[in-house]
Amino acid sequence: MATTLDDVRAIALGFPGVIERPDGHRGGASWRMPSGAFVWQRGPSGRDLQQLAALGREWPAGEVIGVRTNGVQTKEALIETHPDVFFTIPHFDGYPAVLGRLDAIEVDHLREVITDAWLRKAPKRAADEWLALHPPPRE
């Protein structure tokens, strides 16, 4: 079953302090903390399409989200490990965020990526309290 924007919404709004509001750039939904957005709906701009075409690439079909990462290295690791799910565009060069295809990601993986993004934007106390109640699984 394909992951949907409703799955993104349910996961994001499950964290304390999250609000949903329209993204100021493209009008899609965004989920944010007072410190900023950590996941958002992302469609292509005309410039994105032109830049991708110049690179011999296309914007993927289906719903796409942007997700904050804890750095460019994490972004690159996600793209390298899951190239069918994650990608980037020239607009995001040097920016700690990755784009993800909802029709290609499993809900559990989506939850993991959104959780990491929320933890980056949440106040330390809220993040610590949440982590105390939701310890990561042992490997």
Residue 76 DSSP one-character state: H
Give the range of the structural domain holding residue 63, as residue numbers without chain letter.
5-127
Torsion from C-alpha of 40, 43, 44, 46, nearest 10 degrees: -120
Residue 139 belongs to a domain? no
Residue 134 belongs to a domain? no
Q: What is the pLDDT of residue 123?
A: 94
Query: Which pTM does this prediction carry?
Result: 0.91
Q: Which two tokens stand for residue 47?
A: 């410039």
What is the per-residue burial (b if ≥16 Cβ within 10 Å, else e) of 81-110? Answer: ebeebbbbbeebeeebbbbbbbebbebeeb
Residue 132 belongs to a domain? no
CATH code, domain with 26: 3.90.1150.30
Residue 135 belongs to a domain? no
Given a cut of 60, is residue 1 above it in pLDDT? no
Residue 137 belongs to a domain? no
Cβ pair 72, 124 in contact under 8 A: no
Given a cut of 60, is residue 12 above it in pLDDT? yes
Residue indicated by tokens 């939850």: 111
Separation of alpha carbons 100 and 64, rounded Å: 5
Confidence tier at 136 by pLDDT (50, 70, 90): confident
Residue 136 belongs to a domain? no
Using left for φ > 0, alpha for ψ between -120 and 50, and beta otherwise, residue 56 falls in: left
User: DSSP characters for 45-65?
Assistant: PHHHHHHHHHTT--PPSS-EE
pLDDT tens by residue, 41-76: 999 989 999 999 999 999 999 999 999 999 999 999
